[in-house]
């Protein structure tokens, strides 16, 4: 009989790790949280290696759906807080719910190995312990990803990934080419235009650009408040596109390619300034790159641009350096996880926070945490609900909207937020009992 206590290890002290820890602690489950840095924050921890912030960075999701419902952000915060305010909020959340008391800082996990029905977790700080359940929350933005295959030719200027972009002073006076059309690429192109000699922005396809405000409200709030104003989703999307066009946010009016997919079939690009800067000539839109010659970028349309610095906003690869890759089932170069969180072949490890969705942090943090709580209770109690779930994860194919989204690397883990949350609640209830469900319904 195992003598390992029913205790959960959490790897990572970003928002998801903190949110999961809170629900486990409040649910009476013992927790050890291991964080590689000196404090909480994850990508918002500007002073740490894991930080992905720069001086002018603000949230692209508004305060109303980024905050957790029962722990609102301060009234003094603007609709779109800056990264320092977000970091302060995350840490205050951890402090309020006792997560600091369960954390081990400066403790990067070195190795996670199976040992019977448990995991042996070892850190570079000297921790060595067995756990019957591990929750991996080490984040999506780990290892910089570059275009594959790489562009041909020999570029003789500087190369930078957005991971290492911290301030517009890094590009001051330089001819900059930003590669990548997601939110980071758009935001940094705008930021760089303040100090760079010139900024060109290379994208491979057409995008929908959403302003941060419509009718004096954060755009996501305005869109949610449309509710059932129109009888079909298609009519709703058509109305939203019409409003965006009237507000000056139709990229085709600025010579950009028209998207060949519906408005909601890609992760939203929230940026009020990119098209404004293009319209003023401060950012030059370009298509995909064909090759480099010295300090010249040659594009597929035959145009050329002299460049001092190429800044890649081309995403990140998954990275679990402490875990044998062969333990997981893979789909391409991301793990094939049920609900984007649960290995089908392993029952004592979960991966939380590895998903993109059009919504703020607060919409999903509590639901994810309560799912983990019920999973831990079911696993430790070997309940009938656990056996039902373990069978379901091998056979069920819940619709998360995956087939609706465009075919790109980052959209492999995009999901329709409301479908995802609905399915997580369904399987959480499968794992739980009536008492759990009553408590969780009240909490939400």
Among residues 403, 422, 61, the alpha carbon closest in space to that of 262 is found at: 403
pLDDT at residue 219 in the model = 98
Looking at the DSSP bridge assignments, the partners of residue 8 are 31, 133
Angle at CA of residue 314, ends 309 and 316, nearest 5°: 125
Question: Cβ distance 307 to 175 under 8 Å?
Answer: yes
* The dihedral formed by the CA atoms of 66, 441, 103 and 133, expressed in degrees to the nearest 10: -120
- The stretches of 9-120 forming alpha helices (DSSP H) are 15-26, 63-66, 83-96
- DSSP state for residue 280 in the 8-state scheme: T
Q: Where are the domains of the chain?
A: 7-143+316-443, 146-312
* Distance between CA atoms of residues 13 and 239, nearest Å: 41
Please report, in tens digits, the pLDDT of each residue of the chain (444 residues total). Answer: 358 999 999 999 999 999 999 999 999 999 999 999 999 999 999 999 999 999 999 999 999 999 999 999 999 999 999 999 999 999 999 999 999 999 999 999 999 999 999 999 999 999 999 999 999 999 999 899 999 899 999 999 999 999 999 999 999 999 999 999 999 999 999 999 999 999 999 999 999 999 999 999 999 999 999 999 999 999 999 999 999 999 999 999 999 999 999 999 999 999 999 999 999 999 999 999 999 999 999 999 999 999 999 999 999 999 999 999 999 999 888 999 999 999 999 999 999 999 989 888 998 899 999 999 999 999 999 999 999 999 999 999 999 998 999 999 889 999 999 999 999 999 999 999 644 444 444 445
Is the Cα torsion angle 389, 395, 398, 404 positive or negative in sign?
positive
Phi, psi of 62 (to 5 degrees): -75, 165
* Distance between CA atoms of residues 244 and 269, nearest Å: 13
pLDDT at residue 161 in the model = 98
* Distance between CA atoms of residues 224 and 396, nearest Å: 30
pLDDT at residue 359 in the model = 86
pLDDT at residue 437 in the model = 46
Question: Cβ distance 139 to 43 under 8 Å?
Answer: yes
Q: Model pTM? A: 0.94
Give the CATH architecture of domain 7-143+316-443. Answer: 3-Layer(bba) Sandwich (3.50)
Both tokens of 425, joined, read 């609640």
Task: Please identify, in words, the CATH class of the domain defined by 146-312.
Answer: alpha beta
Tokens 């570059």 correspond to 146
């Amino acid at each position: 009989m195992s003598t390992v206590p029913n205790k959960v290890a959490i790897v990572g002290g970003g928002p998801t790790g903190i949110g999961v820890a809170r629900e486990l602690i409040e649910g009476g489950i013992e927790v050890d949280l291991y964080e590689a840095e000196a404090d909480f924050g994850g990508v918002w921890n500007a002073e740490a290696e894991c930080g992905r912030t720069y001086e002018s960075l603000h949230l692209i999701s508004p305060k109303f759906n980024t905050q957790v419902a029962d722990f609102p952000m301060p009234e003094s915060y603007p609709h779109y807080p800056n990264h320092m305010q977000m970091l302060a909020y995350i840490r205050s959340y951890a402090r309020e719910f006792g997560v600091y008391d369960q954390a081990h800082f400066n403790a990067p996990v070195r190795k996670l190995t199976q040992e019977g029905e448990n995991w042996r977790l070892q850190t570079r700080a000297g921790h060595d312990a067995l756990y019957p359940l591990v929750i991996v929350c080490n984040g999506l933005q780990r290892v910089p990803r570059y275009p594959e295959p790489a562009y041909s030719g020999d570029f003789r200027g500087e190369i930078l990934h957005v991971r290492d972009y911290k301030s517009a002073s890094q590009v001051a006076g330089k001819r900059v080419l930003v590669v990548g059309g997601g939110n980071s690429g758009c935001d940094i192109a705008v930021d760089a235009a303040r100090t760079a000699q010139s900024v060109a922005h290379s994208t491979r396809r057409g995008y929908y650009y959403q302003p941060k405000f419509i009718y004096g409200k954060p755009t996501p709030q305005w869109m949610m408040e449309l509710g059932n104003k129109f009888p079909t989703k298609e009519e709703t999307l058509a109305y939203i596109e019409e409003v965006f066009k009237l507000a000056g946010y139709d990229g085709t009016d600025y010579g950009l390619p028209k998207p060949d997919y519906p408005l909601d079939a890609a992760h939203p690009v929230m940026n009020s300034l990119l098209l404004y800067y293009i319209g003023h000539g401060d950012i030059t839109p370009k298509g995909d790159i064909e090759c480099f010659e010295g300090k010249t970028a040659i594009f597929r349309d035959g145009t050329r641009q002299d460049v001092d610095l190429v800044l890649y906003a081309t995403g990140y690869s998954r990275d679990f350096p402490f875990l044998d890759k062969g333990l997981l089932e893979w789909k391409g170069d991301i793990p094939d996880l049920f609900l984007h969180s649960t290995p089908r072949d392993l029952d004592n490890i979960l991966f939380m926070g590895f998903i993109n969705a059009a919504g703020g942090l607060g919409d999903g943090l509590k639901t994810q945490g309560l799912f983990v709580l019920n999973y831990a209770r079911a696993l430790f109690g070997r309940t009938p609900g656990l056996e039902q779930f373990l069978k379901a994860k091998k056979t069920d194919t819940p619709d998360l909207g995956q087939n609706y989204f465009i075919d790109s690397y980052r959209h492999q883990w995009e999901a329709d937020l409301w479908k995802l949350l609905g399915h997580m609640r369904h399987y959480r209830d499968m794992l739980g009992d009536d008492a759990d469900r009553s408590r969780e319904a009240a909490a939400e």
